[in-house]
Amino acid sequence: MPPGGRPDDRGGGGELSTPRLRRDTPERAGLDPAQLARAVADTHALTAGEHPWAAGAVVAVGRGAVLAVEEAAGWAVRYASCDPRTGTGVELAAGDRVPATVGTPFDLASLTKLFTAVAAVQQIERGTLGIDAEVGAYLPDFRGAAAHRVTVRHLLTHTSGLRPELPLYDRPGREERLALLRAEQPSGPAGAYRYSDLNMLLLQQVLERVTGRTLDVLVRDGITRPLGMTATRFGPCPDAAATEDQRRPWAKADRGMVRGVVHDENAWALGGVAGHAGLFSTARDLAVFCRALLAGGSYGPARILGPDFVELLLAEPGLGFALDQPWFMGELAGRGAAGHTGFTGTMLVLDRATDTFAVLLANTVHPRRRPPDNGPRATLCTRLARAVRAAPGAG
């Protein structure tokens, strides 16, 4: 279906559907089972021991319409709090812990940006949004961006010159927080890459102004509902994996153990719906999202983007998506692999060259944030790349 959910009649003799994902063996997916077995073992190892990489994790790997791996490990909720003296977690009693399952929703953190980007490209496809139009044409009251002639393309490619973040959470109310964003001016030249949450916050404002609908409605009606992604939504999400025991000074707000509401402090300050963070989802739902993009924007009878606009989304330099980044894509990087990571421990990567995808959801910030270790993300993608190369008949 096109954005909004109406059937798309392509006039092709009734062949409107693309194959839906099915759970099957690595061999049926054209993947080497030994490499994927190692990926599963890696996932369990990441959640084991006294100080694991993550309390819990879920991995999903597939090729074509086959979901070849779907595995959960560890705990959705393991700790009651973080001991500020030692910086380590205070463990819950065994009976009070919540195991991670393949159906556990995780806080996606910056993977939310990918959905905001798709929602924007849907409006570009419809003609209601111009990719090279100036933000000031849609948001004249956002004086900083308007004065510097920031464009929609700048926002989607992180080339606006805006600084990485803004302490909206320190302002007392929503209007005061948005006033800070309206006044924010780029601190660097447009055209140079500088990753910034503010880009997607501004893009959210553009989309809501253009469509008259809030971002959560745009994502639901244009992406998750047509694709049948029933577990993907903005919070609250009470059954989600826990994230952080947020306290100052290591966090930016004093909120206690966070579960079921967004971890990111700015998204929380804006009510949980933000262009850069706020979505919760499961590995299976994200596998569907990957499959739809790999299939040119279609999944089953639904269409969320036309193939030309998927190409616009995923072609160099990528709109919202990062391309060919070995630091988290490992050996999958190099021929146009696209994806993103999230601060809470999440990752999504799809590779059109091999028709493969990898999803890793984890709560690495439970019970407290720490310096990021992207090795496990890169390792998973490398396992997938090698599973393609080592598959029988791969040549």
> Residue 395: its pLDDT value, please?
54
57 forms beta bridges with: 73, 362
The answer to whether the pTM exceeds 0.75 is yes
Q: What are phi and psi of 93, to 5 degrees?
A: -60, 150
**Residue 170 lies in domain:** 22-389
The mean per-residue pLDDT over the stretch 304-321 comes to 98
The mean per-residue pLDDT over the stretch 12-28 comes to 80
- CA angle 341–344–349, rounded 5-degree value: 25
> Residue 17: its pLDDT value, please?
83
Question: Picking from 9-23, 84-98, 125-139, 317-331, which range would have the lowest pLDDT averaged per residue?
Answer: 9-23
Residue 4 scores a pLDDT above 80:
no
Give the domain CATH number at 128.
3.40.710.10
> For the segment 75-88, what is each residue's pLDDT rounded down to a tens digit?
999 999 999 999 99
Question: Picking from 67-71, 187-191, 229-233, 369-373, which range would have the lowest pLDDT averaged per residue?
Answer: 187-191
* 109 neighbors 272 (Cβ within 8 angstroms): no
Identify whether 8 is part of a domain. no
What confidence tier does 14 reach under pLDDT thresholds 50, 70, 90?
A: very low
Identify whether 1 is part of a domain. no
The mean per-residue pLDDT over the stretch 345-361 comes to 98
Cα separation, 276 vs 327, in Å, equals: 21
Q: Determine the 3-state secondary structure of 170 from DSSP.
A: helix
Residue 13 scores a pLDDT above 80:
no
> Residue 393: its pLDDT value, please?
74
Residue 3 scores a pLDDT above 60:
no
Cα separation, 283 vs 286, in Å, equals: 5
Q: Name the domain count of the chain.
A: 1
> For the segment 21-69, what is each residue's pLDDT rounded down to a tens digit?
999 999 999 999 999 999 999 999 999 999 999 999 999 999 999 999 9
The whole-chain average pLDDT of the chain stands at 94
Residue 249 scores a pLDDT above 90:
yes
> Residue 89: its pLDDT value, please?
95
Mode of pairing for the β-strands spanning 245-246 and 338-342: unpaired
Structure tokens at 128: 């209601």
Cβ-in-10-Å burial (0-12, 13-18, 19+) of 389 comes to middle
> For the segment 129-185, what is each residue's pLDDT rounded down to a tens digit?
999 999 999 999 999 999 999 999 999 999 999 999 999 999 999 999 999 999 999
Identify whether 395 is part of a domain. no
Identify whether 346 is part of a domain. yes
Query: Of 345, 329, 328, whose CA–CA distance to 337 is shortest?
Result: 329
> Residue 20: its pLDDT value, please?
95
* 186 neighbors 150 (Cβ within 8 angstroms): yes
* 388 neighbors 63 (Cβ within 8 angstroms): yes
Residue 7 scores a pLDDT above 60:
no
Residue 234 scores a pLDDT above 60:
yes
DSSP state of 220: I
Q: Determine the 3-state secondary structure of 89 from DSSP.
A: strand
Identify whether 9 is part of a domain. no
What confidence tier does 188 reach under pLDDT thresholds 50, 70, 90?
A: confident
Identify whether 360 is part of a domain. yes
Q: Is 149 left (phi over 0), alpha (psi -120 to 50) or beta?
A: left
Query: Of 195, 184, 209, whose CA–CA distance to 154 is shortest?
Result: 195
Identify whether 12 is part of a domain. no
Identify whether 14 is part of a domain. no
> Residue 394: its pLDDT value, please?
73
> Residue 323: its pLDDT value, please?
98
> Residue 16: its pLDDT value, please?
63
